[in-house]
A and B are shown apart, each in its own frame.
Chain A
Amino acid sequence: MSTEAEEGEVISALPNRATPLELFIGFASIAVVGFGGVMPWVRWLLVEKRGWCTEDEFINLFALSNFLPGGNVVNIAVLIGSRLGGFGGSVAALAGLVAPPAIIVCLVGGLYRSFGHLPAAQSMIHAAAASAAGLIVAMGIRMVYPMRKSPRALAVVAIVLVASVGFRVPLVWMLCLILPASLAAAHWTRK
């Protein structure tokens, strides 16, 4: 996913700064249209619409956001907010990304509670849920595909899958046992 970054100097080539309000509006505007994932919109906002970062910087941001815990879009909002507007910028970008969709989803949830008991709504939700599950499975399969030549990576995927689904192992145990083993395996193998 990530490309080799040039030495850290890209950071000083910061195009400009942004006020918290600009960051809030920018992220809110893409959050409310980001059906099925906000990431493509984030790139468009940062690189093309506002020029808040270059394409290379965006790739760095993306790599860094995957390495940090939490949703990667959320991480990008905080990182770019911090760079362009300090702590206030971070908070504003994060609030813009999360608050409008949270309100929308509550309205949708309200409709579900009002009309969810109707047979037609029940079967609609049932069908959408089956499809939504398929979206996640497909995402996982797409992400496994580049790992197909690495027995190490496939073994980790299989172990995590079996532990989580088959044995319902709590995440904390997997983080303490499987993740370090996976990191060690990555350290000592080439593939």
Chain B
Amino acid sequence: MDRPITLLVLQILFLSSVAVGGFITTVPELHRFVVDVHGWLNDGTFVALFALAQAAPGPNMIVVTLVGWEIAGATGAALATAAACLPTLVIAYTVSRFWSRYNNVGWYRTFERGVAPFAVGLILATGVILTDGAADDWKSYALTGSTIAFMLFSRRSPLIPLAIAAAAGLVGFV
């Protein structure tokens, strides 16, 4: 096993062990690690992989599968995916053994109130970093902006703006 995939697997194991607020909150760190620190992928590729993962069905952690593939092929994809699942399996399974005790305790509310803004800050950071990587002229900013507007003012499927944007790209809008 070569070095980048080992480092990537260790990083993903760490990230998914600390991903409070969902795996999405680790995207800024994954981006920093893969693009800024190691330069395995460039900004544009990372953002494109993220878009592919968003457009494909399934949980959004699946972006690590593609990052793993870019770095070490099919083995990389399998290892990265397994690394993202393993901590969740261990932690959630352990907690499920003590489930009933966790439902109503007071510190749970405090924890929730403290973690929520932290997680939301990271989600917004993810959005800004991805916009920064994806949008480079007024047209792509317009696509980002209209997607935001669509999602804020409509409860319809995220697939709609994604598909419209892809179609706009296909006919040469950006």
Report the separation of the CA atoms of residues A38 and B64 in the bound assembly, to the nearest whole angstrom: 17
Report the separation of the CA atoms of residues A127 and B114 in the bound assembly, to the nearest whole angstrom: 36
Closest B residue by C-beta to A150: B117
Cross-chain contact of A70 among B92, B102, B110, B126 (Cβ < 8 A): B92
Q: Is there contact, CB below 8 Å, between A68 and B88?
A: yes
What total of chain A residues lie within 8 Å of the partner, measured CB to CB?
Answer: 101
Report the separation of the CA atoms of residues A168 and B31 in the bound assembly, to the nearest whole angstrom: 10
Query: In this assembly, does B8 line the interface, its C-beta being within 8 Å of a C-beta of chain A?
Result: no
Q: Is there contact, CB below 8 Å, between B117 and A147?
A: yes
B160 to chain A, nearest CB (A): 9
How many residue pairs, one in A and one in B, have C-beta atoms under 8 Å apart? 377
Q: Is there contact, CB below 8 Å, between A74 and B23?
A: yes
Cross-chain contact of A66 among B88, B112, B127 (Cβ < 8 A): B112
Summarize B's interface: helix, strand, loop or mixed: helix
Query: In this assembly, does B71 line the interface, its C-beta being within 8 Å of a C-beta of chain A?
Result: no
Cross-chain contact of B166 among A72, A104, A127 (Cβ < 8 A): A127
Q: Is there contact, CB below 8 Å, between A105 and B117?
A: no
Query: In this assembly, does B41 line the interface, its C-beta being within 8 Å of a C-beta of chain A?
Result: no
Q: Is there contact, CB below 8 Å, between B28 and A97?
A: no
Cross-chain contact of A125 among B51, B145, B152 (Cβ < 8 A): B51
Bitwise, A63-83 to B at CB < 8 A (1) or not (0) is 111111111111100110011
B15 to chain A, nearest CB (A): 7
Query: In this assembly, does A21 line the interface, its C-beta being within 8 Å of a C-beta of chain B?
Result: no
Report the separation of the CA atoms of residues A5 and B56 in the bound assembly, to the nearest whole angstrom: 35
Q: Is there contact, CB below 8 Å, between B20 and A69?
A: yes
Closest B residue by C-beta to A175: B18
Q: Is there contact, CB below 8 Å, between A130 and B57?
A: no
Bitwise, A51-63 to B at CB < 8 A (1) or not (0) is 0000000001001
Closest A residue by C-beta to B128: A165
What total of chain B residues lie within 8 Å of the partner, measured CB to CB?
Answer: 108
Closest B residue by C-beta to A134: B147
Query: In this assembly, does B4 line the interface, its C-beta being within 8 Å of a C-beta of chain A?
Result: no
Query: In this assembly, does A15 line the interface, its C-beta being within 8 Å of a C-beta of chain B?
Result: no
Q: Is there contact, CB below 8 Å, between B124 and A137?
A: yes
Q: Is there contact, CB below 8 Å, between A133 and B56?
A: no
B167 to chain A, nearest CB (A): 8
Cross-chain contact of A183 among B110, B145, B158 (Cβ < 8 A): B110
Q: Is there contact, CB below 8 Å, between A70 and B122?
A: no
Query: In this assembly, does B7 line the interface, its C-beta being within 8 Å of a C-beta of chain A?
Result: no
Q: Which of B129-168 contact A (CB under 8 A)?
A: 129-135, 140-141, 143-148, 150-152, 157-159, 161-162, 164-168
Q: Can you sample 20 A-B contacts with CB below 8 Å?
A: A7-B103, A34-B57, A64-B99, A66-B22, A68-B91, A70-B84, A78-B93, A109-B52, A128-B165, A130-B131, A130-B143, A132-B55, A132-B147, A135-B158, A136-B127, A138-B152, A156-B118, A160-B121, A161-B121, A164-B129
| Extra pairs beyond A129-B51, A135-B54 (7, CB < 8 Å) | A11-B100, A63-B112, A71-B61, A131-B51, A132-B134, A138-B147, A171-B15
A: which residues have CB within 8 A of B?
2, 4-5, 7-9, 11, 31-38, 60, 63-75, 78-79, 82-83, 87, 90-91, 94, 97-102, 104-106, 108-109, 112, 116, 120, 123-144, 147, 150, 152-161, 164-165, 168, 170-172, 174-175, 178-179, 182-187
**CB-based closest 3 A-B pairs:** A101-B58, A160-B121, A127-B169
